[in-house]
Amino acid sequence: MNDKQHKVVIVGGGAGGLILATRLAKHAKRSTKQSTNLSVTLVDESLTHIWKPLLHEIAAGSLNSYEDEMSYLSHAARHHYDFQLGKFSRIDRQQKLLYLDEVYDSNGNVLIEARTLKYDSLVFAIGSTNNDFGTPGVKEHCFMLDNRKNAEYFHTHFIGKFLAARAKQDNESLVHINIVGGGATGVELAGEIYSTMKRIVTFGLKDFNLDRIKICVIEAGNTILVGQTEKVQKGALKELKKIGIDVKLNSKVSEVNSTTIVIDESNILPSSLSVWAAGISGSMNESAFDGLALNRVKQIVVNAGLQSHEDESIFAIGDCAECVVDGNRLAPRAQVAQQQAIFLADNFMGFIDSNNMPEFVFREKGSLITIGESDAVGNIFASIFGSFYVQGAIAKWAYLSLYRQHQLQTLGVYRTIIQVLKDSMTRVLGPKIKLH
């Protein structure tokens, strides 16, 4: 190996970015015969990683985020890549520079000065944020579950509303929790909140009537879980209604206020807590990407090799990328990000030597939606049997296995086994829900 070094910078340590950094660093360490020395740097604005599909559990309180978070610094040291704390602000494609904003401490003082990182190849894995579609009042009055901080913020307010309702003597005041968006996030959050409420009552609050808390999922379309099979949609709707969750279809929100959600003049819903989970958007402005093509929701448009059309040294994976495979635009799902990360890592050393990247092929594994503590619905795809519908305990087990697959990719077999044992002991010895 010569002394030439190829600098790969990955922006975003979510499901895709963390897997990519882990595998790419491993490949680089093993590939001693390559003509280029590869260095891998992961950039994230947080010091810890949490798997995004767990955010609805953090919001409801059924998962303590501190139990499942992963330190980027320790993970980087163990897997031989560099971690840089910082928030991406813009790129300079001509100079191949990534600009990072200042990092502040809790008192507002500058902890790390603004700086630049040089790259030879740049991978964006920055995920997405919720899209408010310009709806008045959403930014001011709605909670959004696009990161851990926001999920914990909602949880604090949810517990506060619950305890405040219990303290009232009239026993008639209601808490209205409205979730705008009938996709996976909205449906899963509704089910998880219901399960949390049941658990709270068993924690010495048996005098509280759960009928005083009303949960409603509001969907603009004519069905929940758009993109899923009709059987999954109907199965999820049946389960939601069975546990008392109201679902309003064909109800496009026109305005959100501090205590109400407006669908139209004749349909104004009271709201104690409003959650916006309708649609996604890129998290940065167009100017930050120095001329890279973005679609209407600010995703980076990539080719079949996950490269941006304007610059073959810049890649994008996961929610922040618009990727079309066999004429179909891939949905923002964890399994898409995971497969793209594995593909990129496994082919990157060859790309450096030949400047050629093969086409990404997505393999559908199915979709699963969890509804509360013990139920789930979905489809599982098996190459021999095709797609088949699952519900109940089997679906719940399959849903939990998705997280274990993520851990296997980032922690390895030994540490994943230890994590499974730890989680099992926590379920027995620890609190069932987080009440603070």
**197 and 240 belong to one structural domain:** yes
435 found inside a domain: no
Q: Are residues 116 and 64 in the same domain?
A: yes
User: For 4-28, how does the pLDDT look when each residue is reduced to its tens digit (9 = 90+)?
Assistant: 789 999 999 998 999 999 999 988 8
Q: In what order do the strands lie in the sheet with 366-371?
A: 366-371, 375-382, 386-391
User: Hunting for tokens 């923002």 — which residue is that?
Assistant: 332
| b/e per residue 327-365 (b: at least 16 CB within 10 A) | eeebebbbbbbbbbbbbbbebbbebbeeeebeebebeeb
**Residue 96 domain flag:** yes
More confident residue, 96 or 281: 96
Domain tally, the chain:
3
Q: What pLDDT score was predicted for residue 393?
A: 74
Q: Spell out the residues 6+ positions from residue 86 whose beta carbon is closer than 8 angstroms to its own.
A: 43, 44, 45, 100, 101, 103, 112, 115
Shared domain for 343 and 395, answered yes or no, is no
Across the chain, which distance is largest between two alpha carbons, in Å?
78
What's the confidence (pLDDT) of residue 162? Answer: 82
Domain boundary among 308, 329, 354: 354
Between 380 and 176, name the one with better pLDDT: 176
Asked whether residue 234 is domain-assigned, the answer is: yes
Are both 316 and 398 inside the same structural domain? no
Q: What are the distances in angstroms from CA 290 to CA 94, 225, 293? A: 9, 35, 9
Q: Are residues 265 and 381 in the same domain?
A: no
Least confident of 95-104, 309-318, 344-353, 418-427: 418-427
Does residue 436 have a pLDDT over 60? no
Of 219, 248, 276, the last residue of a domain is 276
Contacts for 220 with CB less than 8 Å, ≥ 6 apart: 250, 251, 252, 253, 278
Question: Is there a domain that residue 434 lies in?
Answer: no
Retrieve residue 409's tokens.
């990719």
Of 410, 394, 19, the C-alpha closest to 419 is 410
Q: Minimum mean pLDDT among 125-129, 160-164, 313-317, 371-375: which range? A: 371-375
Q: Which domain holds residue 44?
A: 5-128+282-354
pLDDT grade for 1, boundaries at 50, 70 and 90: very low
CA distances from residue 53 to 196, 247, 336, 422 in whole angstroms, order as listed: 17, 22, 13, 20
Residue 154 belongs to a domain: yes
Burial of 102 (0-12, 13-18, 19+ CB in 10 A): middle
Average model confidence (pLDDT) for the chain?
88
Q: Judge if 21 and 121 occupy the same domain.
A: yes
